[in-house]
Structure 1
C-alpha cells in the first residue's frame, strides 16, 4: 500500500514537472545558436546610470566612462558594477589648472558638474589608453583635454588641452587658436553660434584605414567638426591644415561633419562597420520630454560627406525649426509600447550614444535612456547593431542580455508567422501622459504603438499593413515591402524585454525610416 502511494505521488510529481518545466524555462530557453540570457529575469540586471556613456574593452572587461565621472565595468555587457580611480576622487587636483585657466567663471565656479562625455581609446603608438574629456564652461567657453593611463580601471595622468571654444581676442593667448590661425584677432565667424561658434564637447576618436587618428567634437549651434590627431602625442596634429570654406571646413576646427545654423545635434560618434563609416548624432534636448534621439548618417570616407538613406547631407545650410522632428537623418530608435510589456517604464529620450565592434565582429550601440515614469532618472542600455544587405545598420528591437543574432541565419520556416510591427516615426517624441491626472495611465503622447501583420509562407504580408517579404535561405538578411516602401533588414531570434522569452524579430530600414517586428 505504501509503495503504491509512493508510485502514485512520484507519477503525479513527474506529470506536474513535465508541464511546469517548459513553462519555467521559457525565459531561459536557448537561442538558435544555443546561447541563453545571462540573467533569468530582466529585473535581475545590475544597471549602470551613466550619462553619455563611452565604452572601451581591456582584456575581457568592458568599461563605461560617462559624464560626471560615472564609471562602470562588466564582463558580459549586461551586468555593470561601479568603480573609481584617481579621476573620480582627485579630479580637482588633476584638472584644476586647466579649469582655472579656461572654463572657470564667476557664473560657473565648480568643476564637479562640468566634466562631460569622455571618450576612451587605445593609442598603439603611445602604448597608452587615452581619455578625451570635455571640461565645460558657460557661453561655450569649453576645452577638450587629454589624459592617459596604462590600463583601464587604473589612474589617469593629465597631458594637456586638445581644442578650445568660446575664445575671444582678449583671451586667445591662453589657447592655441592664434598658433593655428596665424593671427591674434578672432575672426567674426567664431562669435556667432549661427556660424562657427561651437561648444567644444563630446569627443569621439577613431582610426581610419590609413592609420590616421581623427577626433570629432562640437555641439548644436555651429555644428559638429573633426580634425586629425598626432598619434605620437595624442594631441592635435598641427602639421595638417584646413582651409576655411563655408559649410565644409574651417582653419581651426577642421572638417565640418554635421549640423550648423543653430540646429540641434550633439554627441557625434563614428563607427566603422559593414563597409561604411557611420555618424551618430543626438538631436533634440536631453530632458525626458525634450525629444532626445539618435540620428544616423554614413559615408565611405571618414571625413565624409555623410548622408542619410535618402541622400540628405548631415551638414545643414540653413536653420530648421525643431530639426529633431524633421525627416533628415535616419532615426535609429524611438519610444515603443509593445503589447504585454510593463508600459509604465518605456524608454524615452534615448541618446548620448557610443558604439563599437567587439572582438568577434558583433557591433553594438550603447546609450543612455530616460523612462516614461521616472522623470530625469536615466540608465545605460546596449543593443546589437545588425547589418543590412544595402550597407546600412539597424538596432535590434530588444536590449542585449547575452544572446546575439545567429551568425548563420535561420530556417525560413521559422520566420513566417504573426508579428507586431513598430514604425519609428521621425516626427514624434515623448511628451508625457495624455491624461496627467491618471497616475496609472499608459496612454502617452509620442509613443509608437504596434500594428499586427502576418508574414505568410508564400511571401505575402497580410494584416494591418500588406505587402511582400523575402529572405535568402539560411540567411538572416530580409527584405519587406509595405505601402510601396521597401525595407532592408535582418531577422534575429532574441529575448524579449518583458520576460526574456526568445522570439523571432526583425529590424529594417527603408525610405529613411526604421521599423521593428516582434513575433507574437
Structure 2
C-alpha cells in the first residue's frame, strides 16, 4: 500500500469518466477504422481482483474502502461509498464493526487523526469457510488498518454476499509494537506488545513466547528485520492449502499458512530457518521477499497450473506520481519460496543491504532484483500524428493483482496507475499478459480491450514502431518512446539496432545489439489515441527487462505537414496572459519556423510581455512555416494579449443568498458530485460564521466561476468548520490543469494543515505546524505575491516561504470548494469565501478578516 511518513503524496479517489475504445472491443473483428465507444474508468487504489464464481462478474477492492465491478474488464462501475459510516457498503457501521482492529490503528489516531486509514484489502471466495450458521462458503476480506509507517494490523471480515456487508472476525497480525509503554504523536495507543494478540497466542500455546529480536536495544520495534503488517494477499496452493502473504518495506514480505475452515493463521510457533537460510519467525511466518527498509510492498501471489509455478508480484518505489512505483516479478515451485527472478536473484534482499533500523526511500540498490514488469512510460504522440493529446502512458503503475481467467483462457495483470501531466489522479488498468519461452508472464503494451491473440504474418509486423524499454531503474523519470523500424530483411534500425523474428504464429524474438534477446508475442491491440487497432510486441529478456513496441502507419511528407498545420491551427490559444509554447519540431522531425508581427509582445519562442496597466490589449500575428522534405505549408494565427489590470476582489461567496457571488463579478457557484468534474451532488445551508453557511455532505462540492485568479498575485480567504478531518481533502482548490494546481488542505497524511501545489513536475508544500480542529470554525487565508506565499490560520501567519510556483497562466482556470479531481470530499460548513485577483492582502487585512468576519 504505502510507507506512511515517507511517501506522503497519497490521494485516494474514485473517478468515473469516459474514454473512447472500439466498438469491436468485445470480440468482433479488429480493424483500423473501428467505431469508438464510451469506456468507463474507475479509480481504485491497490486493486485486488476477483471473478465472482457465482455470477462471473469481475470486482476490484482497494484502499479507502473503494471498489468497482465489471462484466468485461473494460467498463467499470463503482459499488462502494468510501469511509461513509454508518451504512458503509462494505463494513456497515465501520467504527463498531472494525472496533477491535481500530484499537490498535487506523481510526482517529496519529496520522489518521480525524479520519480512517483502511487499506489494501484482498478478497477471495473460500468454499471451505464454516459460517456461524454452519453453512460452508464465504467471501473473505483481509484488510489493513494503519496509523504510522509501521504501526498497523491485518484483520478479517466475511460475507455471503460479495458486495457486503462484511462482518468482522478477528485481527490476526500486528506490527509496530514495542517492549515498553510508548505512544506515537497524536495518539493514545500504548504500543506495548501486550496490547496486540501476541499475549493471547503465548497463553494458548500458539507461539513460543515473545521473541526478543522483535525489539531494538531501546525496546522499539525492530523494523529492520520485521515488517509493517499491511497488504495481505491470499494464495491458494496446488493442493488447495491457503496462505497469506503480507508486508510493506521494513523487514520485508512474509507468508503464513491459513486454516481453510476459519481463515485464521497457523502461526509457526517457533523460530527457525528455511533450507536456503531464510527467516522463519514464530509469529510473522516465513520471509519470502525484500527487507532491510527498502521499497517493496503490495505483494500478490498466484499459482499457475499450466507452468506449476507460484508467481509473486511486488511493487518497488514510492506511490506518488513522482515516486517511481513499479511492478516486479519472481517465481518459485513452492508457495513459501525461495522466489527468484529471471536472472536467478533471490527475492529476499541480501544481508549486505543492512544499514540499520528504518526505511530508506530513495535507496535503489535493489533495482536489479526482480523482473520489472512496467514502470513510467509514454507512447508519445507527436504534433501531426492521429489523435489528440501527448500520447498514452502511465506514472507509478503498481500494487497489482493478477487474474488467471480459466473461462476466457486469458491472464491479466490489474494495477492502478497515474498518468503524465494529470497530477495524482489514478485509475484501474487491466493488461493482458502472455508467457515468453521461459514461462514468465509479460504484460502487453496497451490496456485490455477484448483482444484475443491470433496468427500474424510478417507483412503485419514490418514497419515503424514506437519503442519502450522499461529497464531496471527505480525512478520517477518518464521513459518516452523512441522510433525504430522492423525492416523486411529482419533487421532493426532507428533508436536501436538488431534483428527481429516472428515464429510460432505470433511469437516474437527481438535481439538488440549490445543488450541481448527478448522473447514474447506479437498481438494486435487497441490504441486509444489513434482510435485504431495496431500491431504491438511485448517481450522480456533473461535479465528480467521488458520491451514494448507499438506499430505506426506511415504517411507521406505532404500528408504530414498538412496534419501539423491543421493541429496548430486548432490548438494554439487565441487569447493569452502569459508565455506559452510554440513548438519547433513535429512528428518524424518535421520543422516549424515561427515569425511574429510584434516580437516585443510575443516572441518566436512564445514569451509574452503584456501591455502595461491602462494600455489596450495587443493583437499579434504568428506565422508558422512547416517543412518536411520538399513539402511545405504555412499558416497565420492572430493572438490577443490581455493588458495588465489593477487587482481587486474577484468573487465573494457569503451563502446568505444561496450560491451567488455577492461581488457581482462572477456567476453563481455550481453544485458538483464527489469530484470537481462530476455532477449530481447536493449542497444545503445552515447557520454560518456570519449569517448562512454552505453545508457539504461529504459527497458533494461547489465549482466556482472560472478565471477567478489570472496571475501570480492573489489571496484566498474562507471560514471552515469541518465535521471530520480526512487526509488531503481540499477546502479550496484551483487548477490550470489536473497537473497544475493549488489546494488548501486541512490535513495531510502526516497531520498538518497546508497549502499543497503541483506545477508540472514540481511539488510545493506550504506546511504549518498544526492541524485545524473538527467541529470548530477556523479562518484560513492564503496569499501569493509573485513567488512569495503566506498561509494564515486564524489571522496568524503559520507558513511563509518563497519560490511558490506560478500556476494560473490563463483566463479559464477552474476553482472549487470541498472537491478536487481525486480526494475524499469535504464534510462540514464553509462561509465567507473571498478570492482576490492581483492582490496579496497584507497581514493586517488578513487579521481584520479574521477578527471582523461580518465586515
Shorter-chain TM range is: 0.7 to 0.9
What's 2:580 paired with?
Answer: none
How far has the Cα of 1:448 moved from its partner? 1.6
1:180-236 Cα deviation digits (max 9, x unpaired): 432246434574555323110001111111111110000101101111000010111
How far has the Cα of 1:385 moved from its partner? 1.2
Q: Does the alignment pair 1:353 with 2:415?
A: no
How far has the Cα of 1:394 moved from its partner? 0.9
Contact 2:91 2:166 in 1 (8 A): no
What's 1:18 paired with?
Answer: none
How far has the Cα of 1:335 moved from its partner? 2.4
How far has the Cα of 1:456 moved from its partner? 3.3
Higher RCO, 1 vs 2 (CA within 8 Å, ≥6 residues apart): 1
1:254-279 Cα deviation digits (max 9, x unpaired): 11111111111000111233512221
How far has the Cα of 1:244 moved from its partner? 5.0
- Provide the secondary structure at the position in 1 that maps to 2:238: coil
Return the alpha-carbon distance in structure 1 between the equivalents of residues 329 and 173 of structure 2: 25
Pick closer, same or farther for the CA change 1:461–1:427 going to 2, 3 Å.
Answer: same
Q: Does the alignment pair 1:80 with 2:76?
A: yes
What's 1:34 paired with?
Answer: 29
How far has the Cα of 1:296 moved from its partner? 1.4
Q: Does the alignment pair 1:289 with 2:328?
A: no
Q: Does the alignment pair 1:120 with 2:123?
A: yes
Aligned pairs for 1:30-69 within 5 A: 34=29, 41=36, 44-58=38-52, 59-69=55-65
Aligned partner of 2:463 among 417, 435, 442: 417
Contact 1:283 1:292 in 2 (8 A): yes
1:58-85 Cα deviation digits (max 9, x unpaired): 1221111110011111111111111135
Contact 2:27 2:450 in 1 (8 A): no
Pick closer, same or farther for the CA change 1:31–1:481 going to 2, 3 Å.
Answer: farther
Answer with 1 or 2: which has the greater Rg.
2
Contact 1:54 1:353 in 2 (8 A): yes
Q: 493-502 vs 334-343, which deviates more?
A: 334-343
Return the alpha-carbon distance in structure 1 between the equivalents of residues 532 and 392 of structure 2: 19
Contact 1:116 1:202 in 2 (8 A): yes
What's 1:456 paired with?
Answer: 487
- Provide the secondary structure at the position in 1 that maps to 2:480: coil
Q: Which runs of 5 or more residues in structure 1 are unaligned? A: 1-24, 431-445
Return the alpha-carbon distance in structure 2 between the equivalents of residues 60 and 36 of structure 1: 28
What's 2:175 paired with?
Answer: 165
What's 1:155 paired with?
Answer: 165
Equivalent residue pairs, number: 476
Q: Does the alignment pair 1:219 with 2:214?
A: no
Aligned partner of 1:389 among 429, 432, 437: 437
Aligned pairs for 1:78-477 within 5 A: 78-84=74-80, 86-87=89-90, 89-100=92-103, 106-108=109-111, 110=113, 112-126=115-129, 127-138=137-148, 140-169=150-179, 171-178=192-199, 179=201, 180-184=206-210, 186-188=212-214, 191-193=220-222, 195-238=224-267, 243-244=272-273, 247-273=278-304, 275=307, 276-317=309-350, 318-319=352-353, 322-323=363-364, 326-340=367-381, 342-343=389-390, 346-358=393-405, 359-406=407-454, 409-427=455-473, 429-430=475-476, 446-474=477-505, 476-477=506-507
Q: 227-236 vs 364-373, which deviates more?
A: 364-373
Normalised TM-score (structure 1): 0.84
Pick closer, same or farther for the CA change 1:465–1:164 going to 2, 3 Å.
Answer: same
Pick closer, same or farther for the CA change 1:243–1:184 going to 2, 3 Å.
Answer: closer
Normalised TM-score (structure 2): 0.52
1:23-48 Cα deviation digits (max 9, x unpaired): xx9955679973689x9547x32111
Aligned partner of 1:509 among 540, 546, 549: 540
Contact 1:94 1:157 in 2 (8 A): yes
What's 2:510 paired with?
Answer: 480
Q: Which runs of 5 or more residues in structure 2 are unaligned? A: 1-19, 81-87, 130-136, 181-191, 355-361, 382-387, 553-855
- Provide the secondary structure at the position in 2 that maps to 1:338: strand
Return the alpha-carbon distance in structure 1 between the equivalents of residues 49 and 27 of structure 2: 28
Where is the helix percentage greater, Structure 1 or Structure 2?
1
Pick closer, same or farther for the CA change 1:110–1:71 going to 2, 3 Å.
Answer: farther
Return the alpha-carbon distance in structure 1 between the equivalents of residues 166 and 224 of structure 2: 36
Contact 1:284 1:324 in 2 (8 A): no
Contact 1:412 1:473 in 2 (8 A): no
Contact 2:108 2:114 in 1 (8 A): no
Pick closer, same or farther for the CA change 1:129–1:177 going to 2, 3 Å.
Answer: same
How far has the Cα of 1:506 moved from its partner? 0.6
How far has the Cα of 1:297 moved from its partner? 1.5
